[in-house]
Amino acid sequence: MTTATKYINGLPEKTFETLARESALQIKVNGRAYSITMCSPSNNVELAVGLLYTEGILRKTSDIISITEESDKQNKQVLSVNVNVHTEALEGKNLWNRSIASSASCGVCGKTEIYDIYHKSQSLETREKLDITRAPELLQEMRSHQSTFDETGGTHSAAVFKMDGTMQSVQEDIGRHNAVDKTIGELFLSSTLAKADILAVSGRVSYEIVSKCAMANIPFLLAVSAPSSMAVEVCNEKGITLIAFCRENRATVYTNQQRVISSRSLQSAGLYEAKA
C-alpha cells in the first residue's frame, strides 16, 4: 500500500493504492546460478520448475532429486530456489548459456545464442477441435481468478484447461511468461501436464509465450490481446492453433483454422444439436 495523488477532471485527491509486489528470484540448478527473474513472490517452486521445463532442462519429474528454497530470515521472502537434478539428465545440455538476468516482461532476456530462440521441436498434432464460441468463456473463467489484478491492476494471468473446459491451473504474476511458467510447473510437478489442451493468457502473445506453449505440447493458445508477427509465424511452424482478441462474443483465429469449429454456424445450418 502506498500513498498517491489521483486526478479526476484535473482535480487532485489523495489516495491509497495497493501495488503488485515484485521481487528478484534466483533459480539454481545443482547449487549453481542459472537465472535471476523478476517476479511476483509466490509459487516460486512452480515458477522455477516451469522455467527449467520450458527451457528443456527438465523433461520428466524423475529428473529431479530435490527442491529447496532459501529465504530471507528477516522478512521471510524467498530469495532463491535450488533444483537438484540427476547429472545424467543434464548431459548434452548447455545450462550456462544465459546471461543470468531476466526481466519480468521478457521470457527470452538473458539468452546468449540465437539458437536458443529458434530452437527446433516437432510440430504438434491433435484431432481435437475447439468450439470458437467457448474461447471468450474460457478467458472469462481465467479472469474470475485474477484477485491480485483486481486489487492492483498490475498483474497478468495464465490458465490451462482440458478440452472439456476443466481448469487445471491458474496463476498470476507481474510477468506474462512467469504466469505461464507457474502453470506449467504446477502441472509438471503433479504429472498432469500431458492432459493440458489449452493455454490461456491475459495479455498479448509474443514469441516467448508461444515457445513455452510448444515445449509443453499444448495445441491451443488463447489470448485477450494481439499476437506479434513472430508469434503467428512460430504457431504456424509448431502446429499451435492461435486465437487472440478473445473478448465478449469475439475471437480471431490466426493459425491452424482447421481445428476450430463454430457450434452456432453448425446450428444455423441444421448440422449441430446443442446438448441439454
Distance CA 157, CA 155 (A): 7
Orientation angle between helical segments 207-215 and 229-238, nearest 10 degrees: 20
246 is catalytic: no
Residue 48 belongs to what H/E stretch?
Answer: helix 44-54
- What does the alpha-carbon distance between residue 192 and residue 12 come to, in Å, rounded to a whole number? 51
- φ, ψ (nearest 5 deg) of residue 170: -145, 135
Amino acid letter, 77:
Q
Q: Which of 39, 106, 109, 246 is catalytic?
A: 106
Question: Is residue 47 within 8 Å of residue 185, measured between CB atoms?
Answer: yes
The answer to whether 181 and 51 have CB atoms below 8 angstroms apart is yes
Which H or E element spans position 243?
strand 241-247
For cell 536458443, what's the residue?
116
List, by residue number, the catalytic residues. 106
